[in-house]
Amino acid sequence: MSERTIIPFGPQHPVLPEPIHLDLVVEDEKVIEAIPSIGFIHRGLERLVEKKDYVDYVYVAERICGICSFIHGLTYCMAIEELMKVQVPDRAQYLRLIWSELSRIHSHLLWLGLTADSFGFESMFMQSWRLREYILDIIEETTGGRVIFGSAKIGGVRRDIPLAKMDEIMKKMRVYRKDVAALCEQFMKDQTVKHRMRGVGLLSREDAISLGAVGPMLRGSGVAQDIRMTGYSGYDRIGFTPITETAGDCYARCMVRVREMDASFQMIERCVEQMTDGPIEVKVTGNPNGEFFMRSEQPRGEAIYYAKANGTKFLSRLRVRTPTFANIPPLLTALAGCQLADVPVIVLTIDPCISCAER
C-alpha cells in the first residue's frame, strides 16, 4: 500500500475566491477522504435581529451573500409577510420574479466562468464574465445596484420598472439570450470539457437524496425537486417545470445550470407579457407575531428561513439554512476517490458560496 499524505487545500487558494479549508487525504494522486473545516467567514448575523428591527433587517439579509443577494432579501420579506398576513400586489410579485431570475442568470454566468477557470479555460472565464456585465447593467438600470439591489421590502418592492424601459430591456435580453446560448453550447460541446467532467465527481440519486443535496446538485442526479414548483412569488402563474439530468456527474450538474439559464430568460419573457399595471407595494403596519418557515430556490438550491416573532419590533429568532451548507456532505462523497487534479472542478460544480454557508 502506498503512503498516505495530507494536502491542505485553502483557505487561501488561487481557484477559490472565498476561503474554505479542505484537508485532502491522498494516496498517490487519489483522494481518499476530504475533511472540511469552516468558520472563516462566520459573522453571526442571525443574532443581529436582536439589534436591528424587522424592517431594517432586510438589508442585513441581503448581505448574507452578495451573489444571491436579492433572493435572500426576498425570502426574508416573504417570511415576514406571511407572519403579518400581508398580501403582496401582483405587479410586485412579477417584479420580484424578474429580479430573482436576473440574479439566477448572473449567478450561473459567474459560476460558468469560475468553473472554466478551474481547469484553465481562461478565455471562457473572460467571455462569460463579459456577458455577465450586460446582465448587471440591466440590474443596475432597474434597481440602482450592481451587487446589492436593495429593492425588496416588506410589503412589495421599492422600485417599479416603467413600461418603456421594460420594452428596451426585453429587446436587449433577446440578444443576450442568444449570446449566452452560443457560449454555453461552445462550453458543453468542447471535447476537453467533456473529458474533464464526464464521469467525474459522481453522486448517485440515492446518495443525493439521503445526504440532502439541494439545487442543481440534486437535479443533476435526476431528482426533480425545485422550490419554485411551490409557486411562491408568481412562479405558479408563469408555468414552471424543473430541469433535471440523470448522470449525476460534473457534466450533468453543468448541463442543469446551462439549461436553467435559458429557462430563466424564457420566464422573464413570459412574466413581462403577463404583467399588468398596478400598485407595487402595500403599507405594512404593526409588528409580526408567531413563527414561520419560508423556502425559496436560489441559484445554488433551496434556502430556508425560519423566523420567530414575539409581537415587538425585534424578531426573537431567525435561522437561515443556505444551499451551500446543505451541499457540503454530498460534496465530500463526490470528492472521495477522485484524482487530486479534479478537486477544484468538483468543488466548483457545487457552486460553493461560502459566505452563505457560514453567514
Partner 1 sequence: MGMLSRSPWVIHYDGSSCNGCDIEVLAALMPRFDVERFGVVNTGNPKHADIFLLTGSINEQNKPVVLNIYNQMPEPKVVLAVGICATSGGIFRECYNVLGGADKVLPVDVYVPGCSVRPEAIIDAVVKGVGILEEKRAALRNNLKSAVSQA
What grid cell was written down for 262? Answer: 435559458
Partner that binds at residue 67, options ligand SF4, partner 1, none, CB closer than 5 to 8 Å by kind: partner 1
Q: Which is nearer to partner 1, 292 or 314 (CB)?
A: 314
Partner that binds at residue 36, options partner 1, ligand SF4, none, CB closer than 5 to 8 Å by kind: none
The upper half-sphere exposure of residue 168, i.e. CA atoms within 13 Å in the direction of its Cβ, equals 9
Contact 315, 49 (CB under 8 A): yes
Q: Which is nearer to partner 1, 150 or 242 (CB)?
A: 150
Between CA 9 and CA 23 the distance in angstroms is 6
Partner that binds at residue 41, options partner 1, ligand SF4, none, CB closer than 5 to 8 Å by kind: partner 1
Helices (H), the chain: 57-62, 69-84, 90-118, 122-143, 163-189, 191-197, 205-210, 216-219, 250-274, 323-335, 343-349, 354-358
| Environment class of 263 (CB within 10 Å of its CB; exposed 0-12, middle 13-18, buried 19+) | middle
Q: Which is nearer to ligand SF4, 69 or 327 (CB)?
A: 69
Q: Which is nearer to partner 1, 41 or 263 (CB)?
A: 41
Smallest distance, ligand SF4 to C-beta of residue 77, A: 18
Binding segment (CB under 8 A) for partner 1, from list 126-134, 161-169, 208-216, 277-285:
126-134
Binding segment (CB under 8 A) for partner 1, from list 6-14, 81-89, 176-184, 332-340:
6-14
Q: Which is nearer to ligand SF4, 130 or 146 (CB)?
A: 146
Site membership for partner 1, residue 122 (CB under 8 A): no
DSSP 50: G
- Residues ≥6 apart with Cβ < 8 Å to 206: none
Binding segment (CB under 8 A) for partner 1, from list 24-32, 42-50, 85-93, 338-346:
42-50
What grid cell was written down for 94? Answer: 412579477
Q: Which is nearer to partner 1, 126 or 175 (CB)?
A: 126
Helix (H, G, I), strand (E, B) or coil at 26: strand
DSSP 176: H
Contact set with ligand SF4 (CB under 6 A): 63, 66, 148
Site membership for partner 1, residue 194 (CB under 8 A): no
| Pairing state between β 156-157 and 152-153 | antiparallel
| For residue 11, cis peptide bond before it (omega within 30 degrees of 0) | yes
What grid cell was written down for 218? Answer: 440534486
Site membership for partner 1, residue 66 (CB under 8 A): yes
Contacts to partner 1 by CB under 8 A: 11-14, 17-19, 39-45, 47-48, 51, 59-60, 63-67, 69, 110, 126, 129-130, 132-133, 136, 145-148, 353-356, 358
